[in-house]
Structure 1
Amino acid sequence: MKVLLYILSITTILFASTHDTAACKKCHPLIAQEFENSMHKKSSIYDDKIHKAVWDKHPASAKGNYKCAKCHTPNAKEAKAQKEGISCISCHTISNVEKHAQSNKNIYSGEKKKFYSAEIGRENEKVIYKKESSLFGMNVTTTGSAYHDLDYTNENFYNANVCMGCHSHKQNSHEFSVCTTEEEGAKDKKTNCITCHMPKVDGSATTVRISKQHSFHGFAGAHTKPQMLKKYVEFGFEKNSNSFEIIVHNKAPHNLMTHPLRVVQLRVNHIRDAKSTALKTQTFVKVIGTEGKPSMPWLATEVVKDTMIKANEKRKVKYDKKLKSGDTVEVILGYYIVNPKAVEKLNLQDDKAATEFKILKSQNINIE
């Protein structure tokens, strides 16, 4: 028994000090698998080619002064963690978020083995690991996990304010906001960043306490599982005598795309007698730059162009095409992770993730 307890204590110490997901896999295999394929896990310049391509252009890159570490590699004090990006511990130890003009700051608990989490119905609970024996040691019962304690009382994990340490806004040295995510999406417990980007999926969150579902830890977004987010976009259609309109309703509490590199496109095809004709592609972007021209984020001082579909907006796009009964209108809404005009400048011509047009939602409208 003493040997077993010794091994357990050593394992616990190792777990408390590591920043990878190896220890988490033992009890959270499904979550760990999802996380391994997420952009949180792949947030460093070692795994994200697009992030590295932008960073390589930064003046501080030559000096090795990695200015993105606060969010992209929050555990970078350890050499190994510099290559691992964000870890399970990175998010689950955030106790609060400080608001600042340039960018917000995550405040970490600093208590070893103390993790924060959220579960409806347990908002007032703190689960501390306990081991109790009775009948002269013959009957042993445990409460909680030997690997970590769980604090369910942190409000930030219910309203998604926990996401705002990194995803709220970022100003450059010119006090210009390079990217912004409206904080309206981090106030409501029922609908917020977490409920949208970490929807409930089938499978137990842990092997210790079996549940039917868990929150998706692959973090649905532009890179990963965008199909999970298509329900936040709705298409509308209005037919006129000599034209028609497609309405794109962005039901999200933020711009359809918030990153300045993203480009959204609405592609519409008119199908008649099995012949498909592509109509004019509509492009939605938010371009930042200086002196009226696009520039790298650290140089930007202004918004050069902004046609991005805004939060909760219903954008109408008119097509001067007369429709008749039997026609079909194919509607495709998709995006590029990197603006095609910036691909060559960033030397990403051969990178599939940067150059691929990804479909967010498509729908066929049959004309009667």
Structure 2
Amino acid sequence: MSYRGTIGILTGGGDVPGLNPAIRAVTFRALREGYRVVGIRRGWGGLVDYQLDNQIDNSAHVQILTEDLVNRAGRTGGTFLHTSRTLPARLPRSAVPQHLRARYDDDINDVTPHVLDAIEAIGIDYLIPIGGDDTLSYAERLHREGIRIVGIPKTMDNDVPGTDYCIGFSTCVTRTIELTHTLRTTAGSHERLLVIEVFGRYAGFTAMLPTMAGAADRCVIPEQPFDMRHLTRLLVEDRNHHPSGYAVVLVSEGATMVDEAGMSFEGQEKDQYGHRKLGGIGDKVAAQLKELSPEFNKGKRINVVNQRLGYLVRCGNPDAIDSIVPMAYGNLALDLILKNRSGQLIALRNGCYANVPIDIVSSRKKIVTVDKYYNAERLRPKYETFRDQPMFIMTSEM
């Protein structure tokens, strides 16, 4: 059978709802335009593990995609292609597969030459990586190496530069609002303070939007270190003015206290992108709220309900927006391929679908503009400047 070419697609980094609809959209459109479509399994790891010997079975690393296959998966969450945090440019010796160990034996290895050989051996003409700034930063590297790349942004944190929207963000915000309202019943029944730790390493969008929507009284975000005594005073005031005697704060996992050196981590181990696993700031906030509360509550301690939402906001099926936007993103990627354009990132800008050069991914960090959107004194979003703003308000800063 004759094809116009071969399109490869992969998903990297954390899973989010909306990945399978994006894979479905790319595959449907590509097949109908006469392309063959292959899925790379486990993100960049599938290309690292791919063996160049044509007598080797590489079906564990590369999968031919059909309409029937992606149609079934397209209604579900997660990614049926699986994912990893593999970075071929910085592969530890322990992660180098057996077939590459004679060639790469340093403590840290750049196996990009093998990745380029694998892409050629598979016959990929265009590669569509779906991921956050880590996955897409390596896609930018491949673009510089001559690979035709069209990237699709994905991350619950919504912090990929150049786009208002990343796949997974809406479902994350929706789940955060739902779960926060669910936890209110316990906080209200016991007249406690409710501390909820949410995702957000460098950017506070996942705490800001739910708070703006009424899910919480206060939020603390990575962009603005906070004073624990000040937060305690505000939450005690909120609790004492609430008819059911409770108050809620959303805490971004990357938030920091003014008297601490940095973020809170679960351990010392780093992934291949240099990130340590975040976690624990919610525990610290909860413990100090309990300790400091008597000072602002006539000497009486207030107990705390403390919950980390974690994977609950990234698992399960996508909401409406994370079903529609991935469909559009996949079709936009094919629009570019049909025009023989590459080195681009699919984007939403000010409510309109667009594309931008993929090198924007490494140009800067996308974070909340504190002066414009966050009231650092009140520890909550600013409820103003909505006119002419995009749907998700503070996500259009480029």
Q: TM-score, normalised by structure 2?
A: 0.22
Between 1 and 2, higher relative CO (CA 8 Å, sep ≥ 6) is seen in 2
Structure with the higher strand share, 1 or 2: 1
Q: TM-score, normalised by structure 1?
A: 0.24
Structure with the higher helix share, 1 or 2: 2
